[in-house]
Homo-oligomer: A and B are copies of this chain.
Amino acid sequence: MATTTGTLTIKEVAAATGLSVHTLRYYERVGLIHAIDRADNSHRRYSEDDIGWINFLKKLRATGMSIHDMQTYAHLQRLGDSTLPQRVEMLKALQQQVEAHINELNEHLGLIRYKIEYYGAMIEAEALEAPA
């Protein structure tokens, strides 16, 4: 649990995480990321741990979690281990949403595949009707 001291610039973190520097500052501003360490010139210096957290945030976003809910989660995280039960509840709710979402996508995927097949057959049929 060695809290690595910050060494990475915001640009480096942007490159490492795929978020823009704008988004990194935005995330910090809205409390998704804790107040980042500063160098003497007041520039941000991120640690490796920060990268880990940011990558986790990215995953939460990618599951469809809203910024608002992520703020709640980040806040609980900062409150420490006493909030573990609440965080587990949030994760369980998220798990169910994601599972439901995957199921829905799979259903729609079935229809898409069917249409590709069906339209493909129609195109074939037309090609036969009017051969070159």
Q: Which A residues fall within an 8 A CB radius of B?
A: 59, 62-63, 81, 84-85, 87-88, 91-92, 94-95, 98-99, 101-102, 104-106, 108-109, 111-113, 115-116, 119-120, 122-123, 126
Contacts and interface: CB of A to CB of B under 8 A. Distances in A.
Provide the main secondary structure of the chain A interface: helix
A13 to B, nearest CB: 20
A53 to B, nearest CB: 13
Contact of A112 (B98, B116, B120): B98
**Top 5 A-B residue pairs of the complex, sorted by shortest distance between their CB atoms:** A59-B108, A88-B119, A91-B116, A95-B112, A84-B119
Given A62-B104, A98-B108, A105-B98, A123 B84 contact: yes
Given A84-B123, A123-B84, A109 B116 contact: no
A91 B115 contact: yes
Given A102-B105, A112-B95, A119 B63 contact: no
Given A59-B111, A84-B122, 11 more contacts: A59-B108, A62-B105, A62-B108, A63-B105, A81-B122, A84-B126, A88-B119, A88-B120, A94-B112, A99-B109, A102-B105
